[in-house]
Amino acid sequence: MEKLRNKKIRFYNIKINGVEIDKGEKCQLSSMVLSEENIRSFNLIRDSNKIGYTSCQIINVKLLKAVFKKEKKYLLKTKFPQNFLILKLINKYKNWKMLELNCIFNHLTSFDDSWIKKNLLIRLKSEYLGYFIPIKKYFSNLESKKIQKIYLNIFFKNIISWIFLSVKHFGKKETFKNIKKERQILKEPFFVKLVLLFIYLCPFFILNLLRIFRRIFILKL
């Protein structure tokens, strides 16, 4: 705990506890009212969807070096190389923590036609590859029910929004063809199968309304 308090993080034009921190200025975690109440153990079922946010990770470099050489062959397979490293660290050391503070999530907020044409289908594919391959690789010993819960969490909080976007720009046939193999990485929960069938059969304007409702629901979680 004390080691974590003394760590310094570089922030970029944000406010913490009402204090504005300029770009590049370093700040100790202890100044953010860090306490035992702010820290909890990582829950693989509930938190697995968050490991892809590189802007919100604090990684011990020494531990990272210890696993990097063995895992580097997987790092270029998806858009989420950090997922392999983080899940390996979690599996090996079992001491990953969640810091309950507001975090800056680095999202892509706008897509021009060129980005959509070149990257959208790849990004959707990578959502499956980047989360489910390391889950399968490092946590295959988990009970089937736990794997299913992890799948549901990642699917509804991360993947489904990319499916909506892909359907909008490329249509249903192209979208589902793009993820056909990736859907086999882990056993797909029956409820997810029903949702995907509904997406495939449902008119897009209804899907768009459901997307809005989903966003409101996620914000309340």
3-state secondary structure at position 41: strand
73-101 residue pLDDT tens: 777 777 788 888 889 888 888 888 887 76
- Who contacts 146 (Cβ-Cβ below 8 Å, separation ≥6)? 44, 45
Q: Angle at which helices 160-170 and 204-220 pack, to 10 degrees?
A: 160
The whole-number pLDDT of residue 14 equals: 41
Residue range 18-40: mean pLDDT, rounded: 52
d(C-alpha 205, C-alpha 198), whole Å:
13
Q: Extract the tokens encoding 47.
A: 């938190």
How far is the CA of 221 from the CAs of 46, 157, 214, in angstroms?
11, 10, 11
The whole-number pLDDT of residue 16 equals: 38
Q: State the pTM of this model.
A: 0.76
Percent of the chain with pLDDT over 90: 38
* Nearest residue to 183 (alpha-carbon basis) of 126, 128, 119: 128
The whole-number pLDDT of residue 215 equals: 65
Q: Extract the tokens encoding 83.
A: 């997922």
SS3 content of the chain, % helix, strand, coil (to 5): 65, 10, 30
The whole-number pLDDT of residue 98 equals: 82
The confidence band for 216, taking pLDDT boundaries of 50, 70 and 90, is low
Q: What angle do CA 175, 217, 163 make, to 5 degrees?
A: 5
* Nearest residue to 35 (alpha-carbon basis) of 8, 2, 11: 2
d(C-alpha 68, C-alpha 168), whole Å:
38
41-63 residue pLDDT tens: 889 999 999 888 766 777 777 88
Parse the chain into domains and list their residue ranges: 113-220
The whole-number pLDDT of residue 102 equals: 66
102-139 residue pLDDT tens: 666 555 546 778 888 888 999 999 999 999 999 999 99
